[in-house]
Chains A and B, each alone.
Chain A
Amino acid sequence: MLDVKDLHVEVGGKKILHDINLQIGEGETHVLMGPNGSGKSTLLMTIMGFSGFTVTQGSIRFKGKDVTGLPVNERAKMGMGIMFQRPPTISGLKLGKLLTAASGETKEEIETYAKAVNMERFLERDINKGFSGGEIKRSEILQLSVQHPDFVMLDEPESGVDLENISLIGTTIGKLLDKDKHIVHRKKSGLIITHTGFILDYIDTNQGHMMCDGMIKCHGAAREMLKEIRERGYKECMECRK
C-alpha cells in the first residue's frame, strides 16, 4: 500500500526527517511513536503532500505509483486520508457542505454517517468553529468516513477526547480500517501516531515504529514498545545508536 524509501524532508529550510524507510502492506495498521518534536507529524504531512514539507531525497510510493510530486488532492483521490490534529477553522463553511462537496453523497446518507459519531447537530455549523477537542476528532473521523480512504493517517486520534468518547472514536476508526472484518478480507491500511496508546485498545496493530530526531530508530510490536516507553521513557531510545 505505502512504500517510503530513503526519505529526507526539509521544513522552512531546516532538515527535519532523515533517511526514513517505511513499508505498510494492504490491511496493515502501523503505529508511529516518539517524543514530541521528533518528526512524526512531519512524516504524515509529507506523505499527504502538504506544501511546506519539501522532499529533498527519496520517494513515496502509494499503491505502486510514485506520488512524491503529486498534489494533495490527487493523493486523496488515490485513496489517502488524513485526520488533522489541529485543523483550521473556516468561517461560513458548514461541515455538512464540506461533506457533500468531498463525497457527493446525498443529504440523508451524510446524516446517517453523522449520527454514527454523534455529529448530526454540527452539520450546519461552521467547520471547527468553537468545536471542543473531542468534537474536532469526531468531525475529522466523520470526514474520513464519507471519504472512504484505503490508507488512513491518524495524528493522535485520542488527544483531547474524554473517556466516554474514546470508545466511540476507537470503534469508528476500527471500522475505517476494516477491523470489523476477518483478517483475510481486510483491505484498509493505517498509520497512527499515539502517545498514550489508548487507541490501541480498539484497534489491532501490526507493527510499531519509534521515531527520534527525525529518524525511525527501530521497529517492533507496538504494544510492547509502548510498554517500554511507559516504564522507561524515551531516554534510552534517544541514546540508542543501533
Chain B
Amino acid sequence: MQKVNVPGSLTAEDRDRMAQVGIDLAMTSRCGSYLQLNQDVAHATCSESGIEVMSIADALERYPELEKNYWKVVSRDKDDMTKHVAAQKEPRGYVIIGRKGSKNILPIQACLYLGKEQIQSVHNIIIAEEDAELHIVSGCASARHVGKGGAHYGISEFYVGKNAKISFTMIHTWGEEIEVYPRSAALLEEGATFLSNYVCMQPVKKVQMYPTATLAGERSVARFSSVVIASPGSSMDLGSRAILAAKGASAELITRAITRGGTIISRGEIQGKVDGTRGHLECKGLILKDGLIHAIPEIHGEVVGTELSHEAAVGKIAQEEIEYLMARGLSEEEATATIIRGFLDVKIQGLPDALQQQIDAAIDTAESGY
C-alpha cells in the first residue's frame, strides 16, 4: 500500500490530531487517501480497482461530464458559506467516484487539516455508480495553535446510484476558536443506501450544518447518526433532513448529544412526500452540567401511507443507574463514565468493522473528565 505523501512541515502533534480523527497515514487499513492542508492538496490516490480519488480541480479537468454533479444538490447561492466557496478561483476538495459495481472494504480516508488562521474551503463530490459501495472516513482537524479566524467551509455533494451504497463517517477535532460550516446534500436513486455518521467529542467554537438527503429512488434508505459532546464555549447547531420522495423509501435520524457546558441545537426533519414511506427521528440528550440542549424534531407528512415518528428526550443520568454500577464495585466517576459511554454507543448497521472501530475510538477520546 502506498503511504500517504506527507509534507515535511507536518509535526508530531499534527499527526496525532490526524490520528484522532481516523486518519491512518501509514495506510495500514485504508485503500485510498485524500489529504489537504489548508488550501494545498498534498495527496490523492486510491489503490482499489474501479474507485478513483482525486482533487476536484483534476477531476473537473479530466471528466467534463462531472459538471452535472457540480453545485447541483447544494446550490452556489444557498448562503454566505456556499457563496464563499463558489467564489474561489481554484476549487479545492476531492472527488471520489466508485465506478459501476466497485466496492471498497478498507475505507478511503479524506483528511482536511487546518494549520493556520484562515478559511479552509473545500468542495467534495462523492459518486457511487450503480451497484457500487463506497466507505469513506472524513477526518477534519486543526492544529492546536490555530486560533481566532480559523474556519472550515465544506461543500459535499453525494450521488448514490441505483442499488449503490455510500457510508460517510465524519470525525471532527477542531479548536476552541474555530468555526465550521459543512454544507452537504445527497441524492439517492432506486435501492440506494446512504449512511452518514458524525462524531465530535472535542471543543469547537461553532459548528452549524443541516445536511439533506433526497430519497428520489424507490426503496432507498438514508440513515444519519450523530454523536456529539459540547464543551463550555462550544456551540453546535446540528440537523439532518430526509425527504422521502419515492415509494418504499425510509430514513432514520439518530442523535446522541451531551453537554458539559456548551450549547447544542439538535434539529431534524423528515418529509413524507409519497405513500409507502417510513421515517423515524430520535434525539437523546444528557445535560451533565450547565449547558443547553434544544431539540427540534420535525416530521412532515403530506400523504396517506407515510409513517413518521419522532422521539426526543433530554435529561440527566439517573442516580439509580450510577449506584447500580457502584454496587458492582465501580467508583462514582467510573460508573458515570461507563453509563455515558453506553449512552453514546450507537451501532451503525452496514458499516465496515474498521469504521465502527474508528467511531468507537473517537468517542473514547472523550472518556475522561465528565
Contact = CB atoms under 8 A, between A and B. Distances in A.
A48 to B, nearest CB: 6
A88 B339 CA distance: 12
Contacts, number: 70
Most chain B C-beta atoms within 10 Å of own C-beta, residue among A94, A97, A102: A102
A73 B342 contact: no
A87 B324 contact: yes
Nearest to A75: B327
Secondary structure call for the A interface: mixed
Most chain B C-beta atoms within 10 Å of own C-beta, residue among A84, A92, A94, A147: A92
B321 A73 contact: no
Interface residues of A, number: 25
A94 B341 CA distance: 10
A77 interface: yes
A90 interface: yes
A101 B342 contact: no
Contact of B342 (A82, A84, A93, A102): A93
Most chain A C-beta atoms within 10 Å of own C-beta, residue among B328, B330, B331, B346: B328
B330 A101 contact: yes
A117 interface: no
Contact of B331 (A51, A73, A82, A126): A73
B321 A88 contact: yes
B334 interface: yes
Most chain A C-beta atoms within 10 Å of own C-beta, residue among B324, B327, B343: B327
A36 to B, nearest CB: 21
B257 to A, nearest CB: 14
A109 B185 CA distance: 47
B321 A90 contact: yes
Interface in A113-145: 126, 143
Contact of A90 (B319, B324, B330, B344): B324
B237 interface: no
B323 interface: yes
Interface string B64-104: 00000000000000000000000000000000000000000
Most chain B C-beta atoms within 10 Å of own C-beta, residue among A48, A87, A88, A97: A88
B367 interface: no
Nearest to A102: B328
Given A48-B327, A102-B329, 5 more contacts: A51-B319, A73-B335, A76-B327, A88-B321, A88-B324
